Each structure stands twice: as C-alpha cells, then as structure tokens.
Amino acid sequence: MNIARQRLCQCGLRQGLARSRLYSQARPERKYTASRVAPLALGAGVVTGLSFYFFYPDASRSAPTSTTALLSPSHFTPSTVLSNENSGPDTKLLELVVPPELLPRCDATDPLAPSFAPIWSVYIKDDDIQVERPYTPLEGVDDQGRMLFWIKKYPKGEVGRWLHLKKPGEKIELRGPLTNWLWKESEWDEIVMISGGTGITPFYQLLHSVISRQSEASPRFTLLHSSRTPAELPPPKIMDTLSTFAAQNPQKFRMELFVDSREGTPPPAHLPNPRLGRIGKPAIEQCLGINNRDSWWRRLFWKREAQKPSRKVLFLVCGPDQMVNAISGPFGRNFSQGPIGGILSEMGFSANEVWKL
C-alpha cells in the first residue's frame, strides 16, 4: 500500500476503534481508605469517559450520508441487504450491495485515492443508536458493488445484534474503504496468519485476492486458526475455499485448525482434523520448522537463544483481545500497534515482523 494512504486510513480506523476501549485511571495514594477510593474512582471514570466521548476528535461521528458521492471513508453510503443467512452459532453471512456507479476507481498514482487492495474494511453504522463498527468484506467488493461479511453476534455487541436482524431489501449505511494493512507481494518469504473466531476474515480477504490472481511471486502462507468448538469454525463458504487451495497448492499454503473443545458436531471430513488446545509456542515453532525442545536437565543448566528462521517471515495476528495479547502483546493507546509482547516476543520477533489487526 502507499504509505500516505495507509497512514490516512489507519488514522481513521484507529479513531473509530478507540471509542470502544476504556482507559484505566491511576491508582489513588494509599492514604485514602477503600470507602473513599471507590466513589472517587467511579467519579473520575465517569468524567473521563464523558470527556473522551464528547471532546475526542472524531469526524465519523458527524459524517454525512451521501447517495451520489463515490464510496469514501469521509461519508456514509447507503447499501442494500441482498441476503442474511445463518452460518453457525451466533453467526451470519451478510451480503450487501452498493450502487456500482459509486465505486471509486483505484488510482495507484494518487496517494490519497481509496484502495481495495487487501487488507481493508468498512465501518457499518447502526442507525438506531448511531454506533459504528469495522467489518472486513470476505472477498472485497466486486464490479457490481457486492460485499460479503461474516458477522458474529455478541451479547453486548450492539451493531452485530442489529445486523443479525436485517432482512433483504433493507438499507445499511457504511463508509470506507479503510486500509488495515498493506499487501506487498515480494516483501516477505512467508506470511504466518494467526486468527481466532471472526478474526479470520481479513486473512480470507488476503488469501482470496492471492488465489484470484494466481501469482507465482506470492510468498508462502500459513494459517493457524482457533475456534472454541468444531461447530464454531468458519462456515463452508470460507473453509471449503481454503481447504481446496491448500490441497491444490501444498507448497504455497497450509492451514492448521485448533479448538478448545471437541464437543458437538465434528467438522467435515475434508477439513484438517483440529488440534485440541490453543495456539501456543510449540505450534508456531512447528509451522516455522524450528526445534527448540530440549530435555528438562538441559533447559535447567543451559539457556538456549531463541531460534529464528533465516527467511523473511511476517506474522499477522487477529482475534479476541485475550488471544492477541498472548500471541503478540496488547494493542497500544488509541488502538496503535503497541510494543510486541507475548509468544512472538519470546521467540525474538520484532515490531517490523509482527502486525496486529
């Protein structure tokens, strides 16, 4: 991606995402008693939260709606629901369409022109409570303006629950595209994608683009994906495409699935048998071909430096906060990348080798 466009889009994305994050207050001095601390902390939190909401600069809160301007992050564009089908526990495949004449033309010579190169997302607005959330179109957008989303409904997720109720023909406003990460075909030897739940959507968008182009110059891709149960794995629309691509291109793409529990319906036979447990350091080392396992007595008396592959490897991480924190460390303030932590930091990988989505 163009650097200027990337910074512009990421700025908008971070501002939007930052609204949903809370910031902890400094701990009071110990001279205060517990009975006094609680009201003070609560009051400070309320004041800070209200101040942040009303005074934090956010152009999207007052972004207009246009039915004639080209699709852009600066305003909302009405789209129409084509279908909204169940795809698993608390998930749906939602297909939207925007008027094709409103799709902007991508101009590689213009650093400020919108880009539909992976990985990008759009903000979808809940008109009832005027709240927006980012969602990644699985296959980007086609020439007819159609976009397909995999939407999960969370107990406290206002927009997801609202989207699950939408019916064909109804209108939904969105704005974008906003670039999340810039795909550069020849920069890396291997890209390792680690995802949990609906965090697979940006990686599917990237892989769908790679599959469609059938470029020989693309790096090797590895996908490590985790779900709670086999029933919560991504729907066939996603998994069948990836499974076929892996079978036809074993030197180009490999996929490994993980589940916390094997309870419920097993996955289809043509999919890789999920490993029981979460994605940890051994799984990452195995996918990189690294052997850091020593006997217990050797680990006791001799500390080996972390091994890293000689090839250029990039890690992309997307999923629930708990998973992202464990794999690559938490996001920074205002949803910035923050320092690299977790397993990847222990393995010696640096900030220019890890990107959190």
**What stretch of H or E contains 194?**
strand 190-196
State the span(s) of the chain assigned CATH 2.40.30.10: 62-179
Binding residues: 133-135, 152, 159, 201
Q: What is the pLDDT of residue 40?
A: 40
Q: What is the pLDDT of residue 16?
A: 45
Distance CA 142, CA 98 (A): 10
**Backbone phi, then psi, for 18, in 5-degree steps?**
-65, -25
User: If DSSP codes are grouped into helix, strand and coil, which group holds residue 87?
Assistant: strand
Are 14 and 134 a contacting pair, CB within 8 Å?
no
Q: How far is CA 311 from the centre of its chain?
A: 25
State the span(s) of the chain assigned CATH 3.40.50.80: 190-356
Binding residues for FAD: 133-135, 152, 159, 201
Q: What is the pLDDT of residue 52?
A: 40
pLDDT along the chain (357 residues), means of 10: 44 44 37 42 43 43 89 97 97 98 79 80 94 97 98 94 98 97 90 98 96 81 97 96 94 96 86 94 93 57 67 97 98 94 96 97
Q: What is the pLDDT of residue 234?
A: 97
What is the pTM for the complete model shown?
0.80
DSSP labels, 216-231: TT--EEEEEEEESSGG
Q: What is the pLDDT of residue 111?
A: 62
Pseudo-torsion of CA 47, 324, 275, 261, nearest 10°?
0
Quick one: 62-179 is in which CATH superfamily? Answer: Translation factors (2.40.30.10)
CATH number of 190-356: 3.40.50.80
The neighbour count for residue 147, using CB atoms within 10 Å, is 22
Q: Extract the tokens encoding 108.
A: 């590689």
Helix axes 201-213, 236-248, angle to 10 degrees: 50
Distance CA 178, CA 121 (A): 5
